[in-house]
Amino acid sequence: MHISSCKFILYFCLLLNNLFLIRTSISKRGHQSNILGTELKPCSININKMTGFYRDGYCNTGEDDNGTHVVCAKATNKFLKFTKSRGNDLITKSNYFPGLVQGDEWCFCALRIKEAIDNGVDDLKIIPESSNIKTLEFLTNKDLRKLNIEDSKLPNKN
């Protein structure tokens, strides 16, 4: 068998495994809503950088998600450097973490996003359809506006 065939089979198996994990993850927690009040959409389905606390591609959350990984956003260099300066290095690749670069879509911790906004790091692009409704427990409409969420997509609160 050629090496390229082996790679294809490996990637296919990884894809099937991730699809199984996504299905299992959803069935365990039920369908969760986004900040628009509709069904939560995937944040990223990149099998090399599977996001979400449960690594299912969604910003699902549950009692075991102490970091509240509910905000789907496109990473920026400014934000990645900020979070690294706070002791959470999301840039460096390791055996357990793929390492993020600008433009990667990822489920970030709500409190880190709030901290970044409060410190002038507000260049992230939030993806409302993929950000869990729990985000609204941490970010106000004013915060969301700073992250360029259109008024028409803001929830009817604060």
- Domains in the chain (CATH in brackets) are 3-152 (3.30.56.110)
Beta-strand relationship, 125-126 and 105-109: unpaired
The upper half-sphere exposure of residue 15, i.e. CA atoms within 13 Å in the direction of its Cβ, equals 7
Q: Mind listing the pLDDT tens digit for each residue in 9-34?
A: 544 544 445 444 444 444 345 679 99
Q: Mind listing the pLDDT tens digit for each residue in 96-129?
A: 889 999 999 999 999 999 999 999 998 988 999 9
pTM for the full model? Answer: 0.78
Higher pLDDT, 6 or 96: 96
pLDDT the model gives residue 48: 84
Q: Which two tokens stand for residue 121?
A: 């790091």
Whole-number average pLDDT of the chain? 83
